[in-house]
Structure 1
Amino acid sequence: MGKKSMKKIKGADGDKNISGGISETLKPQKHSNHQEASTPRTSFLREQVDPETAKYFSEIANVIEGTEVDLEERSSICGNALEETRGKEVELATDYIISHTLQTLLQGCALDQLCTFLQNSSKDFPRISMDKSGSHVAETALRSLAAHLQESDTQALVEATLNDICQAIVANPVEVMTNCHGSHVLRSLLCLCKGMPFDSSDFHSKKPSAALAQRLNFKSSRSDGSGSQGLQLGFPDMLKFLVLEILKAARKDIEMLQVDQYGSLTALKLLVGYDQELLHAIPVILGCNGVDASEGNLIDNNVVKRLRSLMKEAAFSHLMEVILEVAPEPLYNEIITKTFRNSLLEMSSHYCGNFVVQALISHARSEDHVELIWKELGTKFKDLFGMGKSGVVASLIAASHRLHSHEHMFCQALISAVCMENEPPRCIVPRILFLDNYFYCKDKSNWDWPSGARMHVIGTLILQSVFRLPSEFIHAFISSMTSLEEDHLLDTSKDSGGSRVIEAFLNSNASGKQKRKLVVKLKGHFGELSMLLAGSFTVKKCFDVSSVALREVIVSEMYAKRPDQWKSRQTSRESAYNDFISTFGSKETTSSKYDASFTENRPKSQQEKLKDMRKEIDTHLTSSCSPFLAHKPFKMSGQKRHSDGTERGAGKFTKHTMEDDTGKSKQKSHRKRKHDG
């Protein structure tokens, strides 16, 4: 275990021209196995680690796990131990026990030692990446490289190391892309080249709740440039080289990769901002060979039929969603006109295809796109609700708001879908709140508010989107909202989605009189609601839009529900004042009117009490003592409300939760991807 002399690092002593820039190193090299890309290997035999080496790394593990080792000594031990891996990188990295030790060494060593290890094992990097244990070693090494990039004068050495790894990957990329372990390592490598955090949701698959929030304009998307935020130092030329070389090598296997769950083709999301590369890559991924981009012809008409069929497959539907998100406008125009025109309703009715349609709508770029979609789906809202495809309708409402196009038409179509001719508008909001419950009801004419039932997730989101539209388009929705019966309004306030509908209404362009009409119906319940996670936000919003008299009612009900908080508040105020006086005041100030105001105990008249309450409202009700007034929820069961409209611990927006129990039973025989909401 004695220290050994460090060997010179490959690439740092003149063996590799680092200073020559990427143009010197990023050139595809000839590989004898390049033609074997269409027959990827899926496994290999692990070589046994000899007993002496295994014992050595066991002793190293015991040493570096000790707390008495200081940082400098630890780095030296890690470097010396990595020297012992030379020529044995594959066996050690793929050993279940030693791989854990190796990860610790790679995290604790210096940059030159890390790069030496990676350069020595670069030819075997794909093999290591495709192993269950080795993939963790590979990802740890890449993360360590990313961490060292924050240091000065490291870019050249890291670039030379990455070049060796990239050259090994592009020799046979399909093998790595279709491997469940290798695909994750490849994603990390691409993130490192992009300069993007490895765990960034801008690249990795988003949680359904985050994707839904973006789709419905509750969270920013790629189109506004947010995808470039948080970027670190990267290697853009190497990124483009790697992606385009992968596509070149994988072209013959593209039909297999389109439907492979590990295909990694969603890596093209990292090319956002490189429109020329996207214009080249996307047609290849779609299977369009020989198109003439110079003539504006990017989508081959011969593949349109196959693409429509592919969009009903799980893996490709996810891939197509990414393509629609990142496609430059000329390419999006061709996709929507050639591939989706005259097939939107058919695609929307499919349990996979409807998610692609939602993505298409969400990333519409112009009023012309909305017009095309309106012609095919504008009169089909009722059919879409009946099929359980409310997510398509929600995306349409959100897109019309984002592009300020066809807003009035979509509102009228929504009303027509849930309200029969000559029915009063008061039925609109209840039926949207319980979408599936209403549409699966056999006798719709006798449908009534289902007390105690959970409100429909997408239905509540649709109403939130509606109340963001200009008031002249939503008179019927405002009327329906203010017509809710008191007990129904209370049910809505207690529901996690329903409470957000009330907040959206109170934030809308409805008149103050209309908003206060709704608030008055909650009198007598503010204390109860303020104790609930969902209701506390509703109380806060009600307070904001209320008159002084209504605010007094809200406050009195809250403190009547929680008298101990009121007493604690007064004690806290007096204590804080006395501390201030003792630190900054004088004997004279201790007898001031402020001191008297806190210590006086004589009975007060009703007028004085009212005056004190008003003063309390004006000066202190926004303090942190009152969670609902401080824009904070009460902490119950570890729950937290997020900016995208989700609650941790209160259930997640998933494709599974976007459907009614009846809708679930209809789709049990389908594949893993769940029904739309």
Structure 2
Amino acid sequence: MGEDNQSYKHGRNKKGMGRKAKKESFGFDGDNSNKYVSGAGIDGTMKGRKSWQHHNASEPQTSVVRKQVDPELVKYFSEIANLFESNEVELEERSVLCRSALEETRGKEFELATDYIISHTLQMLLEGCDVDHLCGFLRGCAEVFPAIAMDRSGSHVAESALKSLAMHLQDEQAYSVVEETLTMICKVIVDNPVDLMCNCYGSHVLRSLLCVCKGVPLDSSGFHRAKPSIILAERLNLNAPRSDRNDTPYSHPAFPDLLKSLISEMLRCSKNDIKMLQTDQYSSLVLQTALKLLVGHDQELLKIIPTLLGCSKENVGEGNLIEMTVVGDVLELTKETAFSHLMEVILEVAPESLYNEMFTKVFKNALFKLSTHHCANFVIQALISHARNQDQMVLIWEELGAKFRELFEMGRAGVIAALIAANQRLHTHERKCCQALSAAVCSTNESARCIVPRILFLESYFSCGGDRSNWNWPNGVKMHVIGSLILQAVFRFQSEHIQPFITSITSMEADHVFETAKDAGGARVIEAFLSSNASGKQKHRLVVKLRGHFGELSMHSSGSFTVEKCFTAGSLSLREAIASELSAVQIELSKTKQGFLLRKLDIDGFSARPDQWKLRQSSKQSTYKEFYATFGSSETNSSKKDTFLADSSKPASNSNNIKTMREEIDHCLGSAAPVYEPVRLKAPLRTRRAAK
């Protein structure tokens, strides 16, 4: 679902390469990992790749040779470290020490930065010095910056320097000197970027450099790493896609021209090694970051993406960006782990014209075959999730619409989840989606009540041998994550499309409903159903099955939200029962982070004055209904006329307005206000809501 930068940390920890020194190697270079000999790679291993230093094939291969640090200098930096660790140095004195110590590094930056012990001290110096000495250090080591970045200790020094640069950019006067410094480093990097991109440590430093040039935080989750949970949320319409966002968290001034120049030059100088970059896990991460940072720069993306796909010719106009000669290679590459991650990002950020061409030339008529592959299926999920129009969804449905059961049996539920979400987003095949999903888990001669349980336990159901009609609810088995997400998406459809699913979830046995509510994914399914536009009576049928368990559920981090949804969807008598059960565990609940329920449901008010509490709830119910009678659609009115107002999930803008309205009504009808009759909405509130 996208790879994060944990591989960087994992690479350090996997073989005892963490920052903490081993007891037996306290001395200088105890594990020999920082020693270099001529002809050896920067990371101490013999490699067939070029040295980081640019050379022609006819030139002898050169390499950085690491010299021994002078013992007097080792002693000097040891004393500096002791002073810093003692915490007895004043701020002003600390600044002077940083300046003096950095002046001692001139001409010896590489040796000091790659020393396992001294590198720690050097990090502290770079974080505490002024911008002039910081940039002076970086300019002094610019020629060997790639070598420092590819060293296990040096990479941390490089990271600290870049982070400190970003901090200094808060001062506008530092902009020019930082730009000059970054330009020097970039010129060295583009001379031969391949080794740096393909190195575990170097790739991470390079991504940080790209983020500094963009002006975003170095730890920005949107650019520095791609968490599977974030990508999955976007594919299922739980979050807006990153490419559609305009609220990028800029933390400091950017260098847009330098960013574009760095990326384009890196690729230009790497054209001969593009096949290696496509399949290397670390270069893939660098390229993913670069593509995300270029969102909005369509002309740059139109040049870069064809190059990453292996095209050798210059772009010749819309419709001719992708050469047919690379189509077969691209299809095979989607089965490679590193390239599949890269391809997901390409599909996310590609300008519409390029996406349309990739869809038609590369993926059309190959969707099902790729969906069955353990890597390529994620690419198909991305392709579906970023479909641009209904015509594309028609073609996707033709290839995959009849394959739900087969995809489930092969463990490719993510493809189905992406297909359901995309159809929902583009309002196509909504009824057919629900029909195909129910048919995949329930045959025509079986009762619809089995649908939801089987989707909740997808893996258990499809892995059971023999006659699946004999499958029963498993005990002690965690509910399927994708299955629960699929059901959450289903309950965002209009009620006329999902009647079998409504029948199934409301027909579940009480103990199964309780187990579902205790499961993190299952609880979200119940909440999605209670937020759907199913009728109040149907929701009530489910909520009553949890009576007697609300106190226990409220103590669960996920179950507390389910209790709140049940309270919102229940009748007045059911709300009273929920409040009674919560008051019984009020002391224990108040000591947990779920204690917000006590305030939200006014359990104190219920315990102190139950009659007034019921009057307030009744008043809120009347107010909500009045609001819906005035501003709600006829469809919404009919579906919720016998329940408290639940947050509608469709459309999203209405959901936000409704949530705001609920909060305002709750504030107006707070627990401190005595209520003797239903409160009517005043004209100003109506006017404000109508204006919105």
TM-score (norm 1): 0.78
Q: 1:146-295 to 2 correspondence within 5 Å?
A: 146-226=166-246, 228-230=248-250, 232-263=252-283, 264-266=286-288, 267-295=290-318
Letter in 2 for 1:275: D
Structure 2 match to 1:87: 107
Tell me: CA distance 1:356–1:527, structure 2 relative to 1, closer, same or farther (3 Å).
Answer: same
* CA positional deviation for 1:539: 1.3
* Map of 2:611 onto structure 1: 611
Deviation at 1:453, TM superposition (A): 2.1
Quote how far apart the aligned CAs of 1:269 are: 1.8
Runs (4+) off by over 6 Å: 37-43, 563-566
> 1:110–1:232: structure 2 CA closer, same or farther, 3 Å change rule?
closer
Partner-residue secondary structure (3-state), 2:270: helix
Aligned with residue 551 of structure 1, among 575, 578, 585:
575
Measure, in 2, the Cα distance between the counterparts of 1:553 and 1:118. 67
Cα pair 2:311 2:326 within 8 Å, conserved: yes
Q: Give the distance between the partners of 2:221 and 2:583, measured in 1 at CA.
A: 42
Residues of 1 paired with 2:491 and 2:201: CA distance? 46
Q: Residue 521 of structure 2 corresponds to which residue in structure 1?
A: 497
User: Post-superposition shift, 1:259?
Assistant: 0.5
Matched, 1:415 2:438: yes
- Confirm or deny: 8 A CA contact 1:243 1:268 kept in the other structure: no
The whole-number CA distance in structure 2 between the counterparts of 1:223 and 1:196 is 15
Distance 1:37 1:483 in 2: 73
Asked if the contact 1:37/1:174 (under 8 Å) is kept, the reply is no
Task: Provide the C-alpha distance between the structure 2 equivalents of 1:494 and 1:40, rounded to a whole number of angstroms.
Answer: 66
Structure 2 spans left out of the alignment, 5+ residues: 1-50, 591-603, 621-692
Distance 1:349 1:453 in 2: 26
Give 1:446 shift. 1.5
Q: Which moved more, 1:205-214 or 1:250-259?
A: 205-214
Q: Counterpart of 1:320?
A: 343
1:351 counterpart (347, 355, 374):
374
State whether structure 2 residue 138 is matched by structure 1 residue 115: no
Query: Do the aligned partners of residues 457 and 559 (structure 1) sit closer, same or farther apart at CA in structure 2, a change above 3 Å counting?
Result: same
Contact 1:529/1:536 (CA < 8 Å) preserved in 2?
yes
The structure 1 residue matched to 2:502, chosen from 478, 496, 515, is: 478
Amino acid at match of 1:512: G
Please give the residue correspondences for 1:70-81 in structure 2 after superposition, counting only pairs within 5 Å. 70-81=90-101
**Does the residue aligned with 2:566 lie in a helix, a strand or coil?**
helix
Bigger shift: residues 546-555 or 377-386: 546-555
Using the TM superposition, give the Cα deviation of residue 503 of structure 1 relative to its aligned residue in structure 2, in angstroms.
0.3
* 1:130 aligns to 2:150 (yes or no): yes
1:177 Cα deviation from its structure 2 partner: 1.0
Contact 2:52 2:195 in 1 (8 A): no
**Deviation for aligned residue 1:212:** 1.5
Question: 1:406 aligned to 2:429?
Answer: yes
CA drift of 1:311 comes to: 0.7
Q: Which one-letter code corresponds to 1:522 in the other structure?
A: L
CA deviation profile, 1:1-23 (whole Å, cap 9, x unmatched): xxxxxxxxxxxxxxxxxxxxxxx
- Superposed displacement of residue 295, structure 1: 4.8
Partner amino acid for 2:407?
A: L
8 A contact 1:455–1:497 mirrored in 2: yes
In the alignment, which residue of structure 2 is the partner of 1:574? none
8 Å CA contact retained: 2:52, 2:192: no
Deviates more, 1:529-538 or 1:455-464: 529-538
Residue 340 (structure 1) shift: 0.8
- The answer as to whether partners of 1:37 and 1:249 remain within 8 angstroms in 2 is no
Count matched residues. 552
Q: Structure 1: which 5+ runs fail to align?
A: 1-30, 567-596, 599-605, 621-677
Q: Which of 404, 416, 420 is matched with 1:397 structurally? A: 420
Correspondence for 1:337 among 360, 368, 389: 360
**Counterpart amino acid of residue 391 in structure 2:** D
Note the C-alpha offset of 1:469: 1.4
| 1:458 alignment partner in structure 2 | 482
Identify if the C-alpha distance between structure 1 residues 190 and 42 changes in structure 2 by more than 3 Å, giving closer, same or farther. farther
CA distance in 2, matches of 1:418, 1:40: 65
Q: Deviations over 1:258-304 (max 9, x none)?
A: 10111122222211111100000000011011154325311110011
User: Cα deviations across residues 178-227 of structure 1 (Å, max 9, x unaligned)?
Assistant: 11111111111110000011111111232222222222121222232257
Q: Is the 8 A contact 1:37 1:250 kept in 2?
A: no
CA distance in 2, matches of 1:182, 1:36: 22
Q: Specify whether residues 43 and 510 from structure 1 end up closer, same or farther in structure 2 by C-alpha distance, changes over 3 A only.
A: farther
- The CA deviation at 1:60 is 1.9
Give 2:119's match in structure 1, choosing from 87, 99, 104: 99
Deviation of residue 34 (structure 1)? 4.4
Greater CA drift, 444-453 or 155-164:
444-453
Q: Distance in 2 between matches of 1:262 and 1:38?
A: 28
In 2, Cα distance between the equivalents of 1:565 and 1:131?
A: 51
Q: Which moved more, 1:338-347 or 1:403-412?
A: 403-412
CA–CA distance in 1 between the matches of 2:62 and 2:575? 68
1:488 aligns with 2:512: yes
**Distance (Å, rounded) in 1 between the aligned partners of 2:195 and 2:508:** 60
Distance 1:405 1:32 in 2: 52
- Distance in 1, matches of 2:502 and 2:70, equals 76
C-alpha spacing 1:150/1:562, structure 2 compared with 1 (3 Å)? closer
Relative to structure 1, the CA distance from residue 127 to residue 41 in structure 2 (aligned partners, 3 Å threshold; closer, same or farther) is farther
- Could you tell which deviates more after superposition, 416-425 or 89-98? 416-425
Letter in 1 for 2:279: V
CA deviations 1:414-446 (Å, max 9, x no partner) are: 111111013232121111111121112221121
- Conserved 8 A contact 1:220-1:226: no
Q: Relative to structure 1, is the Cα distance of residues 42 and 424 closer, same or farther in structure 2, using a 3 angstrom cutoff?
A: farther
Query: Secondary structure of 2:277's match?
Result: helix
Rounded to whole Å, the distance in 2 between the matches of 1:117 and 1:85 is: 8
- Offset from partner CA, 1:351-400 (integer Å, 9 cap, x none): 11111111111111111221111110000000000001001001111111
Whether contact under 8 Å (2:52, 2:63) holds in the other structure is: no
Q: Pick 1 or 2: higher relative contact order, CA cutoff 8 A, min separation 6.
A: 1
Deviations 1:41-95 (A, max 9, x none): 8974421101121122222222233322222221111011111111111111111
- CA change 1:59–1:395 in 2 (3 A) is same
Q: What is aligned with 2:390?
A: 367
Stretch moving more, 270-279 or 55-64: 55-64
Q: CA deviation at 1:527?
A: 2.3
Report the Cα offset of residue 558 of structure 1.
2.4
More off after superposition, 431-440 vs 217-226? 217-226
CA distance in 2, matches of 1:389, 1:560: 45
CA distance in 2: counterparts of 1:184 and 1:97, whole angstroms = 21
Mapped to 2, the partners of 1:219 and 1:511 lie a distance apart of: 27
